[in-house]
A and B are shown apart, each in its own frame.
Chain A
Amino acid sequence: MKPGAYKMFILFAGFLVFVALIVVKLVDIQIVKHDYYSKIANQQHGFIRSIPAKRGSIFDRNLQPLAVTLPAVRVCADPSMIEDAGPVAARLAEVLGVNRRTVAGKLAERDSRFKLIDRAADVEAAAALKCLDLPGVYFEPAGKRVSPMDQVARNVIGYLSVDDRPLGGIELSLDDELRGKPGTRRYLRDALGNARPCVGAIVEMPVSGNSVVLTIDADLQAVAEAALDEAIQSNKGKGGCVVIVDPRCGDILALASSPRGCNYPVRTVFEPGSALKICTFSTGLELGKVDTTTVFNTNGGKLKVPGGWIRDDHPRDFPDLIDALAFSSNVASAQIARLVGSWEFYRYLKAFGFGSRTGIALEGESPGILREPHLWSKRSLETLAIGQEIGVTAVQLAMAYAAVANGGTLLRPRLVKAIIDEDGNIKKRYPAKAVRTVIRHETALEMIRLLETVVQEGTGVPARIEGIRVAGKTGTGQKAECGKYIEGKFHSVFAGFTPADDARYVCTVVVDEPSGWTHYGGTVCGPAFKSIVEFLLRREKRLIPSQCQRLTSLRESPLSQGSTAVPASGVELSSRLETGREGLYPSIEGMSLREATQVLASAGISWSASGSGRVVRQDPAAYSPLDGARTCSLTLGAME
């Protein structure tokens, strides 16, 4: 019997039902769950390889390159694909200049699928290798970090590990800017995990890193490093640092460190010793507790403090403020601090930036050590006044000197000037930033005068340079360990700036543990300062004052030549100097001891003094005729 239409219909309907089921299922898989399956498919088909981004460069302030990344090629090998390791290794060794045995050893590991032959081979060498078409050898783009100035400013720049991770310095602190953004390339693979023979599609283009322009002056940095090495070597020091700052804007021009790798200037905390007296004296002057006419009774250079004595290294009888600083009188400093008082002194130390991080763009900066007055011992005030019981970094010290040098404003140290992109467009500027005004302009000018005297005739003489005006202060801090001072271990410090009246360079030199014939800051660090300034002098003629004047003494030539405003006391001083008349005892009442002794010295009169303060009485009296003895006894005291 021929099959009837209904059977056909049943069979056809059965087919249609099943087809409908398939269509429904297809819609479910292909439309409803499409995203789900696509995602899984993408995951199992492809693998992402990153395309390295070009790392930005690091330039000095004159765009001299300090660290740049050159294109290089990573040479890798798949030992499992290399039948005969010998010739391949020989070729690789020959072209890349690597050890043949090492390479042969790597290639001999036939189980391995990956061996790194050369992390960053020259592009030319890699091109030559590619021509050889060695089996199992493949290439990947890479970068090679080179330093055109070699080790100069290494501590500032930092460096990269072999796998291009930043280790210290700007490389680390500005890694976000420098590293760029690696791109990605997607390769496809089969189910066995083998890459399919196709060029991977670039999913994301790599973005080159930005470059960093530092405030560092590479030439000056090199000179500073050389000077530092010289100072350390000739004084058998353990280490040290040089910080050069432009006090007008806070730019760090040089940041030399020894040992090179560690960032001594921002990490190492030391006792500044007398170098801190700049704060003591500034505070005294600022608060009006002392002035340039103040004479100190140093009691032969010792002062009783709770638990001991404070002594002067260069004791002077009755030094005035200028001499007290010039010869670094510890007693006078302690006396000033007593006049100022703990909390005020602490406030000013803080204002000068001690005890807090300066915010320099380097990792691992130390805030130093400055305890609050309620934690002080009974003698802390006096001890602090001479730069002990305080820990500072060289950068902090340099910024404090810069604050004095620029007329009283503490600046934030600026190490990075700008971030520029690949094409040289400025992406970000780092403006100079003032932290606070620490002292009045007048106080700063007086401090500059005082510091100039230190170099001219005081402890800072080794830093004196003929022809230009240098201001500075020495310091020698004893090293402490476990809360105890170690006998014979010091930090020698010299901090100074030039030109004194219009400071453009503040330079701090620190030598750690000098063990030569002396450990005094002036002698150890002064020459280094001097050689740096001499370099600047050769490079920049304008450092020499226009009227080339030989400044031997503040007394001979008060500040009137300075381009800066002449302090009132200076005018007073010079006018009073003229009061001496031939054949008569000059009138010196009301003068400070320094002024008085100057006047007396110019008239060839010897003197003796008692008390402290200003001259309240002179004997013989003013305008009495000069007698044969030519001596004058002065009584000092407080003026009404």
Chain B
Amino acid sequence: MDEAGMDKILLFAVLALTLVGLVMVYSSSYTIAPEISGSKVPSYFLRKHVVRIVFGFLLLFLFARVGENALRTLARPLMIVSIVLLVLTLLPTSLSHSVRGASRWLKVGGFSFQPSEVTKIALVVYLADFVSRRRYDIRRFSNGFLPAFLVIGLVVLLVAMEPNIGTAAMLLLIGLVVLFAGGAHPLHLSASLAGCAGAMLMFMRVTGYNWERIDAHLSSSAEGAGYHLWQSLIAIGAGGLKGVGVGMGNQKYLFVPDAHTDFVFAITAEEIGLLGMLGIIGLFFVFVWRGLKAARRAQTVFSSVMATGITMAIAAYFCVSAGVCTGLLPTAGLPMPFMSYGGTSSMILLASCGMLLGVSRRRQSFIDLQPSRWRALVK
């Protein structure tokens, strides 16, 4: 096993996105910090974000060093802990903590965090371990697909009950992507995806929760699309080609709700314009490209599947968040990777980037990639 250094380009993309994110978190939050936090310091959110980023990078370098075996050992306990935490969130204990009618938070010793964020990485690692353990059975239904899908279904259901439909959908998507990468049968995947989508729509229709967002999205006119999206579109549109300048945006003055979290994409688009956005999209492109490359070059099934899962999870979050802000998708409160202010998600994100970089470190050498060796390895 070659102890090659981690992928510098991938690391650069992570660093660049994090830095842009720092700037945008400050730019989008300084105007609303007094309104939301009650603190008079405009840099309130920036300060907290910097602390998380610093912790996040510590985690990143830590997980980049953690070996594959250690990760695989952790996979099942991590999954179990996640599920326990999700259940705790739902139970009306002193630990659970609800915001705006949704109990998504757990508060432990002064720190509050979202178990669903932890679940995200736990699910990827667990499923990567699962498919690598059952690499020969995975194409089957009862032995392979079904147990994995039941785990996915459990966490998705728990998250959906918080309620947090957006994240639940993302978990389902990530889980299925990991299973796809792990070799699950396309028929199983597509059938379950369709079934789950239908079930989720039914759930929303019946409970009424978030249904108006879907409804709003289906209505054709921009003005009728709901206040969030409308303000988001104004922000993006006002940005134009070159943007109004970093820090100069006007839409963050409470016009776009959740400017520093879910709609940071819109604020960024207003301030740096189309050209800047193409730059950011380019950075994500580089990240996904290098992430998948690391997955492809990974030595083991576990590493490869896990790297694919992490990369595609981040890619999916980016796509969905951008899609929500531009009106391609119905409004869902999902953070934008690297760019949004967020406690748990920022740290989990950087930790998973660390795992990804770790995979890139343990890549096969050029010789390892020779077809003969490749086939020999598979056998």
Contacts and interface: CB of A to CB of B under 8 A. Distances in A.
Asked if A and B are interacting partners, one says yes
Interface of A: 1-3, 5, 7-8, 11-12, 15-16, 18-19, 21-23, 25-27, 29-31, 33-34, 36-38, 40-41, 44-45, 188-192, 196
Given A2-B301, A7-B181, A11-B312, A37 B255 contact: no
Nearest to A7: B181
Contact of A30 (B180, B240, B323): B240
Interface in B224-263: 233-241, 250-251, 253-255
A31 B288 contact: no
Contact of B237 (A18, A30, A45): A30
Given A190-B31, A190-B253, A21 B323 contact: yes
Contacts of A31: 240-241, 274
19 contacts: A1-B182, A2-B300, A2-B378, A3-B183, A3-B296, A11-B180, A18-B323, A19-B319, A23-B281, A29-B237, A30-B240, A34-B240, A38-B240, A41-B251, A190-B31, A190-B254, A190-B255, A191-B255, A192-B254
A38 B251 CA distance: 11
A41 B235 contact: yes
A19 B238 CA distance: 21
B278 A2 contact: no
Contacts of A38: 237-238, 240
B328 to A, nearest CB: 6
A511 B217 CA distance: 81
B182 A3 contact: yes
A88 B303 CA distance: 72
B323 A191 contact: no
A461 to B, nearest CB: 82
B238 A37 contact: yes
Most chain A beta-carbon contacts within 10 A, residue among B241, B250, B281, B312: B250
A36 B31 CA distance: 25
SS class, residues of chain B in contact with chain A = helix
B295 interface: yes
B304 A2 contact: yes
A304 B281 CA distance: 109
A40 B233 CA distance: 10
A34 B236 CA distance: 8
Given A2-B378, A15-B315, A18-B319, A34 B285 contact: no
A15 B288 contact: yes
B273 to A, nearest CB: 7
Contacts of B253: 45, 188-191, 196
B180 to A, nearest CB: 7
A5 B296 CA distance: 7
A22 B326 contact: yes
Most chain B beta-carbon contacts within 10 A, residue among A23, A27, A29: A29
A489 to B, nearest CB: 71
B269 interface: yes
B308 A8 contact: yes
Nearest to A196: B253
B125 interface: no
Given A18-B319, A22-B323, A12 B254 contact: no
Contacts of A23: 278, 281
A228 B269 CA distance: 75
A26 B277 contact: yes
A191 B231 CA distance: 10
Contacts of A41: 234-235, 237-238, 250-251
Contact of B298 (A2, A12, A16): A2
B238 A12 contact: no
A11 B274 contact: no
A7 B181 CA distance: 6
Nearest to B300: A2
A27 to B, nearest CB: 7
Nearest to A25: B326
A37 B236 contact: yes
B138 interface: yes
Contacts of B278: 23
Nearest to B304: A2
Contacts of A191: 253-255
Nearest to A27: B274
Interface string B292-327: 100110101100110010001001000100110011
Contacts of B31: 190
A1 B236 contact: no
Given A15-B288, A188-B250, A3 B304 contact: yes
B236 A22 contact: no
A487 B215 CA distance: 86
A428 B234 CA distance: 49
Leading 8 A-B pairs by shortest Cβ distance: A37-B237, A190-B253, A191-B254, A41-B238, A45-B250, A25-B326, A3-B181, A18-B319
A44 to B, nearest CB: 7
B362 to A, nearest CB: 13
B326 A8 contact: no
B288 A30 contact: no
Contact of A11 (B181, B235, B328): B181
Given A29-B233, A30-B237, A12 B255 contact: no
